[in-house]
């Protein structure tokens, strides 16, 4: 049995992760964390009325009261790095779905995990289909170097571009290298019209109510085009990857960046 804590349990992803942990026979939910929560027990929430699980507002109190193996984090970018470092420092394996980590942030927590000799995972996207989309896009980039990424999320998402879009761009760059696209003399009549630039490729972010998480990678070549797209229509699509991450980190001795490293 893997003892798990969920941080950010009151958010939509946190709620979904909490439900997944409760329903998975391999897991035991030993606590949930939110510094702003007013509840003392998870059973105060209607959807978890039969569950006796302590709600913690203080991380230090949490580690004194419960023995956790895994720390699932679906919080916000400003606090996720601190939470991840805290978990590692207390020998709890982080499984982080919060995006917004910089390259230096990832290296920092990877070094800490190495020093502590325990596993962890930061995944820009936990949907298996999204991981395949990124891998297919990277493979296609060898033959179609001209590419633009459009990611579409709900209007409550704080970071842009999404972690998935950045990870996709990094994987494409690893295959094709720098490649300047478009007309060398093009000019934006409205600033930002061509999107963000990552090593020559453009990334566009859409934020609208009603969306969950969607991304398309569009390639263009002489006389043809290729579109690779993934859609998450429900947050439950991420839970297979989260559950897999919780199991896999138990045997890791390092922190992986990207779910594809565990498949």
> Where is the binding site for NAD(+), in residues?
8-13, 97-99, 123-126
How far apart (Å, rounded) are the C-alpha atoms in residues 173 and 134?
Answer: 12
- Reported as half-sphere exposure (CB side, CA atoms, 13 A), residue 126 has a value of 26
- Tell me which of 153, 167, 214, 230 is the catalytic residue: 153
HEC string for 52-92: CCEEECCHHHHHHHCCCCEEEECCCHHHHHHHHHHHHHCCC
Segments of 46-200 assigned E as strands: 55-56, 70-73, 93-96, 120-122, 147-153, 196-198
CA 46 to chain centre: 27
| Residues in the annotated binding site | 8-13, 97-99, 123-126, 154, 163-164
- Tell me which of 90, 108, 139, 157 is the catalytic residue: 157
| Residues in the annotated binding site for (S)-2,3,4,5-tetrahydrodipicolinate | 154, 163-164
230 has catalytic annotation: no
Q: Say if residues 71 and 83 touch (Cβ distance below 8 Å).
A: yes
204 has catalytic annotation: no
Active site residue ranges: 153, 157
């Amino acid at each position: 049995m893997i003892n798990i804590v969920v941080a950010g349990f009151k958010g939509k992803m946190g709620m979904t992760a909490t439900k997944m942990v409760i329903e998975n026979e391999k897991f035991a939910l030993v606590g949930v964390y939110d510094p702003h929560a007013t509840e003392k027990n998870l059973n105060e929430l209607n959807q978890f009325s039969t569950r006796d699980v302590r709600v913690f507002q203080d991380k230090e109190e949490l580690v004194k009261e419960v023995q956790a193996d895994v720390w699932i984090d679906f919080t916000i970018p400003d606090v996720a790095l601190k939470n991840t470092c805290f978990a590692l420092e207390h020998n709890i394996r982080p499984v982080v779905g919060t995006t917004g980590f910089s390259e230096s942030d990832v290296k920092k927590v990877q070094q800490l995990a190495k020093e502590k000799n325990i596993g962890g995972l930061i995944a820009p996207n936990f949907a298996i289909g999204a991981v395949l989309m990124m891998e297919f896009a990277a493979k296609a980039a060898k033959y179609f170097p001209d590419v633009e990424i459009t990611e579409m999320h709900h209007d409550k998402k704080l970071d842009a571009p999404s972690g998935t879009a950045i990870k996709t761009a990094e994987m494409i760059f690893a295959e094709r290298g720098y490649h300047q696209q478009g007309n060398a003399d093009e000019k934006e009549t409205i600033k930002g019209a061509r999107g963000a630039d990552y090593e020559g490729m453009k990334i566009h972010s859409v934020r609208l109510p009603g969306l969950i998480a969607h991304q398309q990678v569009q390639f263009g070549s002489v006389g043809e085009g290729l579109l690779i797209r993934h859609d998450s229509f429900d947050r439950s699509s991420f839970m297979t990857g989260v559950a897999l991450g919780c199991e896999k980190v138990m045997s890791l001795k390092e922190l992986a960046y990207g779910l594809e490293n565990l498949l």
